Chain A
Amino acid sequence: MNFNLLIGGAAGQGMETLSSTLSKILQKRGYQLFTLQDYMSRVRGGHNFFQIRFSENPVETHRDDLDGIIALNQETVDLHIGRLNKDGFIIADDDIISDDPRVITIPAKRLSREIGNPKVQSSVILGALMKLYGLDVEHLDTILSEKFDEKVVKQNVDAFNIGHDLVESRFVPPAITPSPSMLIQANEAIALGALAAGLKFYSAYPMTPSTSIMSYLVHKSKKAKVVVEQAEDEIAAINMAIGASYTGVRAMTGTSGGGFSLMVEAVGLAGIMETPLVIAEIQRPGPATGLPTRTEQSDLKFVINSSHGEFPKMVIALRNPEDAFYQTIRAFNLAEKYQIPVIIMGDQYMGDAVRTVKPFDLDKVKIERFMADEEVYRNGKEYKRYELTETGISPNLRPGKVEGTMVNADSDEHDEYGNMIESGEIRIQMVEKRAKKFELLKTEIIEPELLGESEMEVLLLGWGSLHSPLTEAIQLLNKDSKQKFGALVFGDVWPLPEKLLREKTAKAKVVINVEQNFTGQLASLISEVTGIRVDKSVLKYDGRPLSAVEIKNKVLEVLS
């Protein structure tokens, strides 16, 4: 069983409640699911939809063809009916005009008015939907009570039961033994990862599609004892995070490409001051304002090259919510160990998609702190903030903690004590000291994940959120085609891991990069670092996410 449902309407019509309640019911019954969000940059009206794909088996990504449409307005039917499978259904109110035999009319508006609350129409629809799938619902009141008070919960349960009685079951649900899962977006997973890593200070300016990271943190700030500050702009946001980090707390900021453009001078500040910093960059199509609520992977080279001057930084592309959680924690550990900015990259597609994942395991999480040992300085050792060492890593002491020892951080080129200098000799020492850290960092990078056939004839290369559609695309390609397909999906992108890449590209007959951008930035980066050139490209830049089937078709097309 593998269903793909679309819930569509105008903003403000209750789609979100319907979608989240349905997702929660499915999750509690043990289904695995992937919910894609497609919304416009406006608060009311417009055309928005959710696509919920669910199955008793793992669901990696969204699907384009639909098994059912829940149409809250006429536009939803008109826009999406072409994607509906032959034996699919449309649930629509009686004011929607269609002579399609697949329409099941549910007069939810009228029935909800009879109950006395027009807002419960989504529960009428939900009731009908559950009956259609042969699912009874045990947890409805518990799920609803998370959002509503007792009276409204009862109205919704009544509405649900009325809807339930309106249709006949069409499907027999599979027997599932529910195993624990989390229903989560990658942006929430980033926020949770940051908390698990010991985040204490988060400053940001709201920017779609990164805002949900801050939103989650704000609501947990009191319990987690974390200061979350809305800055006046992204420049303040990053400079605040650096100021906080200077005192020894774990600090982070987050934004999208436009906000990151404002931040880049301070990325260099963290670089030369050697102040640990984690930055989340959740991409959307640019340049400038671009398409605010849509998806793209077009900031890769910008992020890697952000800020003037030369200094080490690390860039990690997050691949899914689970990866987002664990890699965010790793980002904090590495930022502190190497005293560098670490930028974690996501995008709208992954950031907003809600999916089931294995529960995050805090026992697997290790907070590794690398602040300087205060005791040795209390015992009289001379402190030099930028002490030249074998590894290039200097002791980072918390200011104010050791009497008689002061910590001087400087954006000017400086000597070991943090005093600004003009000396060419010291400049060389400091440039080389910072560069050494990058060499050491290279020993910690993680190779890309290999998907599909290890001895592949066709090698696909991707990064970040394309992990999800590529996982399924590789399965489809290996099932439907005679050639052997494999993929490498990069998480760590800077420094660029080269080992698997060199090994696999040397053997594969054809190498294809699959990216959500126009210029093929991963391919360009690989070529710059390794000299390896791809043979073909599959690129998409309409702001909409690549699906597995789309990748499969486009790969076969470029191969023919």
Chain B
Amino acid sequence: MNNPKEFITFETAWCPGCGDFGILEALKETLQDMEKSPHEVLVVGGIGQAAKTPQYINSNGFEGLHGRALPAAAAAKISNHKLTVIVDTGEGDSYGEGGNHFMHNIKRNVNITHFVHDNQIYGLTKGQASPTSDTGSVTDFTPDGVNVIPLNPIVAAIGLGVGFVARAFSGDKEQLKKIMTEAINYNGYALVDILQPCVSFNKVNTYAWYKKRVYNLPEDGSYNPNDKIQAFTKGLEWGDKIPTGVIYREDRASFVDKVPFLQDAPLVDLPVETEAIKEFIKEFM
């Protein structure tokens, strides 16, 4: 399966027409266009349909536990910051099971990129409500409709201090690729919430439903992603119109930038500090 040059993709277990395909294709093309080599890239997933992405792309892969992709990915990046680390997984994994890690990895600001396949439904377990399911959605476990409010990942992320927040749509590959490139290039934790239809279990949020609503944020300067208040306003927009694009951006130092001994070489290449340890032993004498 190991092809030295190309980010080829492999046969998947996804349903025909699944929104995941658009994301996988965009990811593959983005990495190729960025002239990354597969051995330099690590794709991390948790559990879920989207979380199978590490299996389907020719790169290093770490497919961990449900909800736990972020801590594993952050630590892998801290340990070898030469790797391009991408978390590619679903909204249940990211905002549900992994909610606490989502919150705290924002604080940590490790230079990793988080692509969330957000289809507003649980696919792998066959159609239960997800953290982002709209109120009123009828699902397997909510026959009378979801009676809780959906999580707004964009507003949550801006509020919690993410330095790069974007929304994309799996049906618009060119814009998705552009956002992916910018997110990967961003020095710090970057979140891209990717709207994606689930053709098997979500009969409401279909391709047609999204296509009717999504619009690209203007890139002529009339929208300023550095303006936090404006970003909140755009983040709150949901319903008849759904904005896509880079909603918020703020540059700051990432985790590794702040660790003095990681400036010359990655942690994985640092030798054991035997002389220092000898001194530590003497301190107890």
Contacts and interface: CB of A to CB of B under 8 A. Distances in A.
Interface of A: 180-184, 188, 192, 195-196, 198, 200-201, 203, 220, 222-225, 227, 229, 231-233, 235-237, 239-244, 246-249, 251, 265-266, 269, 273, 359-360, 362, 367, 382-383, 398-412, 417-420
Interface string B5-40: 100000000000000000000000000000001111
Interface in B239-285: 259-262, 267-268, 270, 272-274, 276-281, 284-285
A227 to B, nearest CB: 6
Contacts of B274: 362
Given A243-B71, A400-B42, A410 B280 contact: no
A384 B199 CA distance: 35
Contacts, number: 199
Contact of A400 (B72, B82, B267, B280): B82
B2 interface: yes
B61 A241 contact: no
Contacts of A269: 64-65, 68
Given A239-B72, A244-B75, A400-B60, 13 more contacts: A182-B285, A236-B100, A243-B72, A243-B79, A247-B268, A248-B79, A362-B277, A400-B42, A406-B59, A406-B61, A409-B62, A411-B64, A412-B63
Given A249-B79, A399-B83, A410 B270 contact: no
Nearest to A371: B268
B281 A243 contact: no
B192 interface: no
B277 A405 contact: no
A243 B63 contact: no
A232 B39 contact: no
Contact of B281 (A233, A235, A360, A420): A360
A403 B65 contact: no
Nearest to A321: B284
Interface stretch (B50-58, B127-135, B174-182): B50-58
A231 B268 CA distance: 20
B54 A408 contact: yes
26 contacts: A195-B277, A196-B277, A203-B75, A222-B260, A223-B273, A225-B270, A225-B273, A231-B104, A233-B100, A236-B101, A239-B68, A240-B71, A240-B72, A249-B268, A360-B281, A362-B278, A398-B80, A402-B39, A404-B4, A404-B37, A405-B2, A406-B39, A406-B59, A409-B62, A410-B63, A418-B61
Nearest to B85: A243
Contact of A198 (B52, B62, B272): B272
B45 to A, nearest CB: 10
Contacts of A383: 2
Contact of B64 (A200, A233, A242, A417): A242
A35 to B, nearest CB: 14
A405 to B, nearest CB: 6
Which of B47, B60, B82, B262 has the most C-beta atoms of chain A within 10 angstroms of its own C-beta? B60
A184 B284 contact: yes
B231 interface: no
A409 B72 CA distance: 12
A417 B1 contact: yes
Counting chain B CB atoms within 10 Å of each CB, the highest count among A235, A359, A408, A418 belongs to A408
A269 to B, nearest CB: 5
Contact of B280 (A192, A201, A405): A192
Smallest CB-CB A-B distances: 7 pairs: A404-B4, A243-B72, A243-B75, A232-B104, A240-B75, A182-B284, A236-B71
A38 B4 CA distance: 60
